[in-house]
Structure 1
Amino acid sequence: MCEAVRYRVPSAFVQFIQKMSTVSAASVESAVIEAPEKKPLKPCCACPETKKVRDACIIEKGEESCAVLIEAHKDCMRALGFKI
């Protein structure tokens, strides 16, 4: 019959494995804790590029002359999930 073969694992190896499992668990926990929650984007802060150009046009030329820029800003806002 076959005899069971037993291997002796060096204690340094066991300690290394224990340390690695602790380190990886700690890094996963810290990654979860350190990840800040994103605050939702406010409409006043969305699409600053199109908003600036649109506002300047409205001030200089009036709303009627800036329909293209107004629509461009609305498209940008819609792309970010705002319902306009």
Structure 2
Amino acid sequence: MPKGKEVDRVENKGEPQEVASRPKPCCACPETRKLRDECIVEKGEENCKDLIEAHRKCMKQFGYDV
């Protein structure tokens, strides 16, 4: 195996490149997360279903199933 690939696997902790390059869940979709969180605090979860779903869709684009 070429040395460069070996270094990549060590730096990525053996994860496929696709997984290693995506943002952490806490850093993905900050805009939809902020709107969702503010709505839940102010109006309650039951009144924010559209914003919750928008955030779920955004997270799914990064490969997270929440």
5+ residue gaps in structure 2?
Answer: 1-11, 13-19
Structure 1 residue aligned with 2:49, among 41, 48, 67? 67
Shift of 1:50: 0.2
- Letter of the 1:81 counterpart: G
Matched ranges for 1:42-81 at <5 A:
42-81=24-63
Percentage of matched positions with identical amino acids = 58
- Letter of the 1:57 counterpart: C
- The structure whose RCO (Cα within 8 Å, separation 6+) is larger is 2
Partner of 1:56, secondary structure, is: helix
Q: Which runs of 4+ in 1 moved over 2 A?
A: 37-40
Number of aligned residue pairs: give it.
48
Cross-structure match for 1:25? none
TM-score by length of 2: 0.66
CA RMSD of aligned residues (A): 1.6
